[in-house]
Structure 1
Amino acid sequence: MDELISRNPATLEEVGRVPVSSTEGVDRAVERAHAAFGSWRTDRRYRQDLLRRCSLELTQNASLLASTLVAEQGKVGSEAQGEVWISARAFAHAAAADWMEETPGPESVGRTARIQKVPFGVVAAVVPWNFPVFLTAAKIAPALAAGNTVVVKPAESVTMVVEQMVSVLQSVLPRGVLEIVHGGPEVGRRLVEHRSIRKVSFTGSTAVGRRIMKQAAETITPVTLELGGNDPAIVLDDADMTRTAAALVRSAFFNAGQMCVAPKRVYVPHGRLEEFCDAFAADAGRIVVGDGAVPGTGMGPLHNEAQLDFVRSLLDKAIAGGATVVTGGGRGTDLPGWFLEPTLVRDVDDSDDLVALEQFGPVLPVVTYRSLDAVIETLDSQEFGLGASVWGTDETFATAVAERIEAGSVWVNQHNAVEVELPFGGVKASGFGREGGLAGIKDFLQSRVLSVKHPT
């Protein structure tokens, strides 16, 4: 039987392994979820009670899940703990959310109409490797709250922690309400194209998102896609550079920069470049790189060799083209894993691949500008639109600038501040549909009209 092997990205040691789901195994998981749907959908109060218990169980198992997450994904301990806690909050929020399940339609003589909000059925949740616990929770919790059942497929390299998480949740939920399958693209295709799948929720790269859309089109299955984002941070001329740089260091290098909504390029006024670079380098230089399980480590490795090679190639190409490394550029540790220390690069522009592509790693290019209007025009002409941030002391002006940017989330004087109470998602090639907030639950509901003609 084929197996998926998880390895620690810092030490390259094996963490664990799980068997790849067979075609029949995928079918059985979907069939169990489909069989459970009929009773699960009927009692909203019952679902809410169980989701509250799910939140509690995740909280009580936080240490176990966080330690596995550190070992398998590579992030540092504090980030792993935070990911489990916000996942528990996602279930608590879904349990407490309120929405109208039925509203009256327009009146007509001899007829009564009601507009109902009903679940889809079985949802396929396809989850990436960068935040496997939270992104699983962000799909499962609202889908279950809305009355759907779920089959989740985690990325091949984070099977252990998602398996543990699902096991915790299954100890609370009725049989079949939540299922899990493991494997690569073929398992994903079998799941997405299954005739009993009524909705697909996917988080990952734009390239894979396009493939998921094509697969779902075979059965005309609706999809929610949260895809890539080459997110800009725009620093205004009146910004407090010390505070701005410190905040951007934390945002850019969180999870080693492997976050779809992390700042991946910074636009700084031409006259303030030196000040920004000095402040940023001072903060970034204090980050300790190493094994996330070791106390005091500030940033772990990239998750896999392919991701490291891609980021390294963008950095090397930029340097060959005349870019200057302000800080970083090395490995930062003697450990054998996939390391690259926090790196800031200057003397680049929008034509450089390091700026134009989503690097998804701990390298941040800084681009200078003289015209704010030109920066916004450039950003809005590009394909991505997931997140962005604007930094300045004049909050009114900074907010006005933020409102001009095409993105699903735009922050002022903060970045990647994702909250379970607020909707999250992208525009343009960054996807469509929303997770989080009440909008995230409504994304797992569809309208049905029930019209009754009365006897005359």
Structure 2
Amino acid sequence: MDALISINPATLSEVGRVPITTPEELDVAVRRANDVFVDWRTDRAFRQKLMRACSEALTQRTTEIVPLLVAEQGKTAAEAGGEIWVSARHFAHAADSDWADEEPGPDAPGRHARIQRIPLGTVAAVVPWNFPVFLTVAKIAPALAAGNTVVVKPAESVSLVVDKVVQILAEILPDGVLQIVHGGPDIGRALVEHPLIRKVSFTGSTQVGKLIMRQAAESITPVTLELGGNDPAIVLDDADVALAAQSLARSAFFNAGQMCVAPKRAYVPTGKVDEFCQVFADQIAGATVGDGSDPDTTMGPLHNTAQRNFVQQLLDDAVARGATIVAGGGRGTELPGHFLEPTLVRGVDDSFDLVALEQFGPVFPVIAYTNLDDVLDTVNDQEFGLGASVWGVDDDAATAVAERIDAGSVWVNQHNAVEVELPFGGIKSSGFGREGGLAGIEDYLQTRVISIRSQS
């Protein structure tokens, strides 16, 4: 039987194998989910009770999930534990969320109307490799809470850990409500294009998001797309430079920089670049790069060869054009995996690919600026609009700058602070639709109007 092979990105050893789903098996899974939808949608209180049980199950079985997540994805055990924790929070939030299933419509002579919010049906959740547990749960928790059934298709390289999580949750949920299929792009396309799929939720690259959108268009299936981001951090003249540099150094290299909303570059006033770079370099000097299962490791490898080579190419190109590596630049370990140590670069501008492209790795460029309006024009002209941050002592002034940025989330004096209680998503090429908050549940509901003309 054909199988997907998971490889540890730190050691390059095999982690395990998962059988590839056949087209016939996929069809059975989707049809089963569609069959049980009718009963699952009817009792919200029952669903919320099971959402709480799912939250508790993830918490109680964290020690089963973390080693598999570390081995298959590459992140540290501490990062993996945090991912499970926030995933459990997603289920708890879904259980506690409240919305009106129905509300009266505006009055009109001789008729009355009811406006209803009803579930869509069976949802396809297509999940990437960087946060496979969190991004799976971020889709299935609100979808299930809203009354939908779900079929998950994880990225091939993280099939083991997502399969484990789905098995844990399926032990709690009624049979058929949550299922999983495994395979490559052909299985993904078959799932997206299946005639019984009523919504597709996808997180991943903008390129693949466009492809999924085209595939879903054949059956007029609605989609939620959380796509790429090249998130800027803007340090203002009045900022506490040390605080900004320390905070950005911590968040930029979380999960080896493989995070869509990680800060991927900083714009710093010209006169403060030296201080910023010194503090930032000091902050990353103590990083320990290695196998995520080692408790001393503070940053694991990049997830695969292609990603590592892409980031290295951007770094090499920047240096060839005159950029300076302030700190890092090496592998940081003798292990054979896809390693690149935390790296700080200065002497670049927006014409460098390292700045202009979403590099998705542990290299952080610093761009000196003299005119804030020019920075904002540059930031808003980019194709992405996922996240950004503004750093300044005057909260009102920093907020005023934040409100000029075209992005789905703009943080002030913090970055990538994704909270399950708040809606999250992008604009422009970063996608559309929202996950998190009540808006994340509403994305899995549709409106139905019942309009009644009285005969009496």
| SS of match in other structure, 1:341 | coil
Distance in 1 (CA, whole Å) between partners of 2:104 and 2:398 is: 43
The one-letter code matched in structure 1 to 2:41 is R
Q: How far 1:29 sits from its partner (Å)?
A: 0.8
The number of residue pairs the alignment matches comes to: 456
In structure 2, the partner of 1:305 is 305
Q: How far 1:241 sits from its partner (Å)?
A: 1.8
Deviations 1:23-42 (A, max 9, x none): 11111110110011000000
| SS of match in other structure, 1:54 | helix
| SS of match in other structure, 2:293 | coil
Matches for 1:136-147 after TM superposition, within 5 Å: 136-147=136-147
In structure 2, the partner of 1:366 is 366
In structure 1, the partner of 2:217 is 217
In structure 2, the partner of 1:352 is 352
Distance in 2 (CA, whole Å) between partners of 1:247 and 1:296 is: 21
Distance in 1 (CA, whole Å) between partners of 2:151 and 2:270 is: 50
Q: How far 1:453 sits from its partner (Å)?
A: 2.7
In structure 1, the partner of 2:83 is 83
In structure 1, the partner of 2:413 is 413
Q: How far 1:454 sits from its partner (Å)?
A: 2.5
Distance in 2 (CA, whole Å) between partners of 1:18 and 1:285 is: 39
In structure 1, the partner of 2:429 is 429
Deviations 1:191-250 (A, max 9, x none): 000000000000000000000000000000000000000000001112222211110011
In structure 1, the partner of 2:240 is 240
Distance in 2 (CA, whole Å) between partners of 1:29 and 1:264 is: 39
Q: How far 1:407 sits from its partner (Å)?
A: 0.3
The one-letter code matched in structure 2 to 1:210 is K
Counterpart check, 1:25 vs 2:25:
yes
Deviations 1:409-452 (A, max 9, x none): 00011000000000000011100000000000000001000122
| SS of match in other structure, 1:133 | helix
In structure 1, the partner of 2:190 is 190
Distance in 1 (CA, whole Å) between partners of 2:420 and 2:36 is: 27
The one-letter code matched in structure 1 to 2:337 is G
Distance in 1 (CA, whole Å) between partners of 2:391 and 2:17 is: 45
Distance in 1 (CA, whole Å) between partners of 2:108 and 2:265 is: 57
Misfit runs of 4+, over 6 Å: none
In structure 2, the partner of 1:208 is 208
Distance in 2 (CA, whole Å) between partners of 1:343 and 1:106 is: 59
The one-letter code matched in structure 2 to 1:452 is I
TM-score w.r.t. structure 1 length? 0.99
| SS of match in other structure, 1:410 | strand
Instruction: Report which stretch shifted further, 234-243 or 30-39.
Output: 234-243
Q: How far 1:296 sits from its partner (Å)?
A: 1.7
Distance in 2 (CA, whole Å) between partners of 1:276 and 1:85 is: 32
In structure 2, the partner of 1:72 is 72
Deviations 1:15-69 (A, max 9, x none): 1110111111111110110011000000000100011101111111111111111
Distance in 2 (CA, whole Å) between partners of 1:160 and 1:136 is: 13
Distance in 2 (CA, whole Å) between partners of 1:406 and 1:300 is: 32
In structure 2, the partner of 1:317 is 317
Distance in 1 (CA, whole Å) between partners of 2:110 and 2:243 is: 66
Deviations 1:147-195 (A, max 9, x none): 0000000000000110000000000000110010001110000000000
Deviations 1:343-397 (A, max 9, x none): 0111110010000000000001111100000000111111100000011111111
In structure 2, the partner of 1:52 is 52
Distance in 2 (CA, whole Å) between partners of 1:51 and 1:121 is: 18
CA RMSD of aligned residues (A): 0.7
The one-letter code matched in structure 2 to 1:41 is R
Distance in 1 (CA, whole Å) between partners of 2:255 and 2:207 is: 22
Distance in 2 (CA, whole Å) between partners of 1:266 and 1:107 is: 54
In structure 2, the partner of 1:292 is 292
Q: How far 1:285 sits from its partner (Å)?
A: 1.1
| SS of match in other structure, 1:361 | coil
In structure 2, the partner of 1:120 is 120
Matches for 1:103-118 after TM superposition, within 5 Å: 103-118=103-118
| SS of match in other structure, 2:260 | coil
Q: How far 1:14 sits from its partner (Å)?
A: 0.8
Q: How far 1:455 sits from its partner (Å)?
A: 2.1
Counterpart check, 1:260 vs 2:276:
no
The one-letter code matched in structure 2 to 1:387 is G
Matches for 1:144-155 after TM superposition, within 5 Å: 144-155=144-155
In structure 1, stretches of 5+ residues that fail to align are none
- % identical equivalent positions: 69
| SS of match in other structure, 2:390 | strand
The one-letter code matched in structure 2 to 1:23 is P
| SS of match in other structure, 1:449 | strand
Distance in 2 (CA, whole Å) between partners of 1:247 and 1:37 is: 45
In structure 2, the partner of 1:130 is 130
Distance in 1 (CA, whole Å) between partners of 2:381 and 2:58 is: 42
Q: How far 1:108 sits from its partner (Å)?
A: 3.0
Distance in 1 (CA, whole Å) between partners of 2:298 and 2:394 is: 32
The one-letter code matched in structure 1 to 2:430 is S
TM-score w.r.t. structure 2 length? 0.99
| SS of match in other structure, 2:253 | helix
Matches for 1:270-281 after TM superposition, within 5 Å: 270-281=270-281
| SS of match in other structure, 1:441 | helix
The one-letter code matched in structure 2 to 1:93 is H
In structure 2, the partner of 1:398 is 398
Distance in 2 (CA, whole Å) between partners of 1:353 and 1:382 is: 12
Distance in 2 (CA, whole Å) between partners of 1:133 and 1:256 is: 17
The one-letter code matched in structure 1 to 2:235 is V
| SS of match in other structure, 2:450 | strand
In structure 1, the partner of 2:180 is 180
Distance in 2 (CA, whole Å) between partners of 1:29 and 1:269 is: 55
The one-letter code matched in structure 2 to 1:91 is F
